[in-house]
A and B are shown apart, each in its own frame.
Chain A
């Protein structure tokens, strides 16, 4: 069904849901991952994203649109969102029914996915807020929210453990108050301007249960599907195309031969082996710098420590993803 909606003025909060098999089976010998259509559901971060979207839309008297990109099997999850009163939209993605390998999913072209989601949202109006589940904690690249923010010209905040409508900053502009973890138990408080793409951890809130009337209504609801998004050929289009993942194998750092410690005292030899007697570089503080400089600093670090042989050529489709 292609969509043509009047664009209402109430704020639009989008829950961008990643539907996945919650109980994949991993073959211990081959490492292959087997997934089951029956196991599809929302991970804790995605459930938390939906709950945050519902709460914030309530506070803003706004609309919630739950979006999931995937084959028809994602409709089960969208139906649960319908039961909670959200509008929903499925974006056909990997609709050939094939069970993509785990590595292929990791290397999925998040940029074209973000583009497809951005395009599918157009008929609904510009979202004030898109909430995603923070997938990078357990798996996934966590890249989608960033690409999505780019597509929507929105601010981005990731790794959030709390997200709520913020007090307006003296003007009529709406903002969000957010919080994320730092090391050593510290928390960082953010004021996020709108429009924004925020990704939340699966913590702090629990997805509400739908009322029975909602469940009954959702059971027979037709799930709207956006027009099939065009798929860019790898390496073409605006961006660099997907990261290409070669054969996955265990990463083994190269062996480096070190001279045996020299000392008649076995204790000193042992200490030397632990590295305790060697002066260490102090932790490097980079920044605050822009994203490109931060990436350069990271690459430089990896080269210096022997994890990368040479800096990858800018714009090359194969990057660090296959290492």
Chain B
């Protein structure tokens, strides 16, 4: 018979969700073990590059004084582009460059190790290089642990928290996630490029530890998705996300999309002379609120990307903060359920209620229609060109012809891109309803 060990809770995955769940449980005095397949937390984790740390304020007071940061984001830019034009809304804040900060670029192997270290300092156990291969259930079908790839040894606990990330095998095995639904996912690919710190400072208009976050629309050859460019200390991260089924239909290789973006006249000068350090690709659960699985079943909770909690809504690509928020809440709910001696789905239901009270489900619910709008054909394929032409019309000096009025320019741009003014008005209204 396979060996086993008993705990109050087993957390699968030592990403941001898993470490936060383990931290909450350990602080509550529970025996908790994290199982991580990588050799150390964060070793396998891919993301764009920016973490919004406000969620940490209550969990790790003054976290900014110790977190492994690359740069503090003081400039956020949203850029729309066509093949040879771009229009950006660029916001810069001095306040974001001083404590308590707003967002930071950080390397996941450092950030995840740091957060997992907080959990182990609080008493959580961490088992690395170990894969949870499946769920262990009791006679009544309740989840009572996980099986591992160490000779099938099992970890038993009244509650398992699945924080194994996007496409969660455990959530699927528990019947919480559909087996495969490609339309709920995008593929994110990114390159990390080496650039000296002074060159980054000069080209991006920052200094010291200041950093920049640029989100880009219209850079994916019409495939629903977007791009990003973030500055780290001595590297920059550039990447694209693209709807999985559309990418497959378009028969375009994702690295071609990054190559396009790097060659764009607005981006190429920023990256001149940069050398490739790494390339990575990962799925993102971008479906939002409507694609989230039930968050609890008997003996099990799901948190972070396993529960499709990345918020991808145009202006925002936030997943780590949602993973931390949901993981911590899952840990606390598990503790309450263990105390009450009821780890059934009902006993664990306080998890969802808690998430609804805070940003995790509140934001997702409010922005539930955002993914569909942001990934819609007009936003993706027509509006970037329309807005760039509109800007071009406004900023081009046409002497000796008199300046054209705004409405005329808008009409012309809309007609050129096949958008009816009625549709433009309807989409504006829809956007206001969703984001307003």
Report which A residues bind B (CB closer than 8 A). 25, 28, 38, 41, 209-213, 215-216, 219-220
Q: Is B43 an interface residue (CB 8 A)?
A: yes
Which residues of B277-310 have CB atoms within 8 Å of chain A's CB atoms? 277
Question: Which of B18-26, B150-158, B381-389 lines the interface with chain A?
Answer: B150-158
Give every chain B residue within 8 A of A219 (Cβ-Cβ): 125-127
Pick from A28, A41, A212, A220 the residue with the most CB of B within 10 Å: A212
Q: Which residue of B lies closest to A37 (CB)?
A: B113
CA distance A219 to B148 in the complex (A): 17
In the complex the two chains form, is B127's CB within 8 Å of A212's CB? yes
CA distance A210 to B128 in the complex (A): 11
Q: How far is the CB of A50 from chain B (nearest CB, A)?
A: 15
A213-B153, A216-B33, A216-B127 known; 9 new pairs, CB 8 Å cut-off, are A38-B40, A38-B109, A41-B39, A209-B151, A212-B3, A212-B5, A212-B150, A216-B5, A220-B125
In the complex the two chains form, is A216's CB within 8 Å of B125's CB? yes
Give every chain B residue within 8 A of A210 (Cβ-Cβ): 150
Taken residue by residue from 99 to 129, chain B's Cβ proximity to chain A (1 for < 8 Å, 0 otherwise) reads as 0000000000110010000000000011100
In the complex the two chains form, is B127's CB within 8 Å of A28's CB? no
In the complex the two chains form, is A209's CB within 8 Å of B150's CB? yes
Q: Is B85 an interface residue (CB 8 A)?
A: no
Pick from A28, A38, A41, A209 the residue with the most CB of B within 10 Å: A38
Q: How far is the CB of A126 from chain B (nearest CB, A)?
A: 34
In the complex the two chains form, is B130's CB within 8 Å of A215's CB? yes
In the complex the two chains form, is A215's CB within 8 Å of B150's CB? yes
CA distance A209 to B127 in the complex (A): 13
Q: How far is the CB of B125 from chain A (nearest CB, A)?
A: 6
CA distance A211 to B4 in the complex (A): 10
Q: Which residue of A lies closest to B149 (CB)?
A: A209
Give every chain A residue within 8 A of B150 (Cβ-Cβ): 209-212, 215
Task: Report the 4 A-B pairs with minimum CB-CB distance, sorted nearest first.
Answer: A212-B153, A212-B150, A215-B127, A38-B40
Q: How far is the CB of A93 from chain B (nearest CB, A)?
A: 23
Given known A28-B275, A216-B127, contact A211–B153 (CB-CB < 8 A) = yes
Q: Which residue of B lies closest to A214 (CB)?
A: B150
In the complex the two chains form, is A212's CB within 8 Å of B151's CB? yes
Q: Which residue of A lies closest to B277 (CB)?
A: A25
Q: How far is the CB of B39 from chain A (nearest CB, A)?
A: 7
Give every chain B residue within 8 A of A41 (Cβ-Cβ): 39
Give every chain A residue within 8 A of B155 (Cβ-Cβ): 212
Give every chain B residue within 8 A of A209 (Cβ-Cβ): 150-151
Q: How far is the CB of B146 from chain A (nearest CB, A)?
A: 11
Which residues of B146-192 have CB atoms within 8 Å of chain A's CB atoms? 148, 150-151, 153, 155
Q: Which residue of A lies closest to B113 (CB)?
A: A38
Give every chain A residue within 8 A of B39 (Cβ-Cβ): 41
Q: Which residue of A lies closest to B35 (CB)?
A: A212
Q: How far is the CB of A64 from chain B (nearest CB, A)?
A: 20
CA distance A275 to B151 in the complex (A): 61
Give every chain B residue within 8 A of A220 (Cβ-Cβ): 125
In the complex the two chains form, is A213's CB within 8 Å of B113's CB? no
What are 14 A-B interface contacts by the 8 Å CB criterion? A41-B39, A209-B150, A211-B150, A212-B3, A212-B5, A212-B127, A212-B130, A212-B148, A212-B150, A212-B151, A215-B127, A215-B150, A216-B5, A220-B125
Given known A41-B39, A216-B127, A219-B126, contact A211–B109 (CB-CB < 8 A) = no
CA distance A25 to B109 in the complex (A): 15
Q: How far is the CB of B272 from chain A (nearest CB, A)?
A: 16
CA distance A178 to B252 in the complex (A): 54
Give every chain B residue within 8 A of A216 (Cβ-Cβ): 5, 33, 125, 127
CA distance A210 to B5 in the complex (A): 15
CA distance A28 to B275 in the complex (A): 10
Q: Which residue of A lies closest to B150 (CB)?
A: A212
Give every chain A residue within 8 A of B151 (Cβ-Cβ): 209, 211-212
CA distance A238 to B126 in the complex (A): 45
Give every chain B residue within 8 A of A28 (Cβ-Cβ): 275
Q: Which residue of A lies closest to B153 (CB)?
A: A212
Q: Which residue of A lies closest to B2 (CB)?
A: A212
CA distance A215 to B3 in the complex (A): 12
Q: How far is the CB of A157 from chain B (nearest CB, A)?
A: 31
In the complex the two chains form, is B127's CB within 8 Å of A213's CB? no
CA distance A144 to B151 in the complex (A): 36
Q: Which residue of A lies closest to B151 (CB)?
A: A211
Give every chain A residue within 8 A of B277 (Cβ-Cβ): 25
CA distance A159 to B252 in the complex (A): 49
Give every chain B residue within 8 A of A25 (Cβ-Cβ): 277
CA distance A25 to B192 in the complex (A): 14
In the complex the two chains form, is A213's CB within 8 Å of B3's CB? yes
Q: Which residue of A lies closest to B128 (CB)?
A: A215
Give every chain A residue within 8 A of B130 (Cβ-Cβ): 212, 215
CA distance A211 to B127 in the complex (A): 11
CA distance A216 to B275 in the complex (A): 42
CA distance A251 to B173 in the complex (A): 60
Pick from B39, B109, B110, B130 the residue with the most CB of A within 10 Å: B39
CA distance A266 to B356 in the complex (A): 87
